[in-house]
Amino acid sequence: MAPILTARCRTAAGNCSRPRSWDGALPTVRSIGKPYSKLVEDLSADPKLAKYNLAEAAKKPPKIKGALNIEGLADFGDGKLPIGFRNPLPDDMALLVPLENPEELVNGAPAKLGSPIELFLGGRGVRSSHNKALKIVRMDSKANVALVDVKGHQFGPG
Rounded-to-integer distance, Cα 28 and Cα 16, Å: 6
How would you class 112 by CB atoms within 10 Å of its CB: exposed for 0-12, middle for 13-18, buried for 19 or more?
Answer: middle
- pLDDT for 93 beyond 70: yes
pLDDT at 158: 45
**Could you tell me if residue 88 is inside a domain?**
yes
| Each residue's pLDDT tens digit, 9-44 | 455 556 667 666 667 777 777 777 777 888 999 999
- pLDDT for 47 beyond 90: yes
Rounded-to-integer distance, Cα 145 and Cα 121, Å: 11
98 CB contacts (<8 Å, ≥6 apart)? 80, 81, 82, 83, 113, 114, 115, 117
**Domain encompassing residue 40:** 29-59+66-155
More confident residue, 148 or 86: 86
**Could you tell me if residue 10 is inside a domain?**
no
- pLDDT for 121 beyond 60: yes
**Could you tell me if residue 11 is inside a domain?**
no
**Could you tell me if residue 120 is inside a domain?**
yes
Number of other CB atoms surrounding residue 4 within 10 Å: 17
| Each residue's pLDDT tens digit, 57-90 | 999 998 888 999 988 887 767 788 888 898 899 9
**Could you tell me if residue 9 is inside a domain?**
no
**Could you tell me if residue 7 is inside a domain?**
no
C-alpha dist (Å) from residue 132 to 6, 129, 136: 31, 9, 10
**Could you tell me if residue 148 is inside a domain?**
yes
Burial 50-89 (b: 16+ CB within 10 A, else e): eebebbbbbebeeeeeebbbbbbbbebeeebbbbbbbbbb
The arithmetic mean of pLDDT across residues 109-137, rounded, is: 75
How many domains does the chain fold into?
A: 1
The arithmetic mean of pLDDT across residues 96-109, rounded, is: 88
Rounded-to-integer distance, Cα 88 and Cα 57, Å: 7
Q: Which amino acid is at 19?
A: P
Rounded-to-integer distance, Cα 100 and Cα 140, Å: 28
**Could you tell me if residue 95 is inside a domain?**
yes
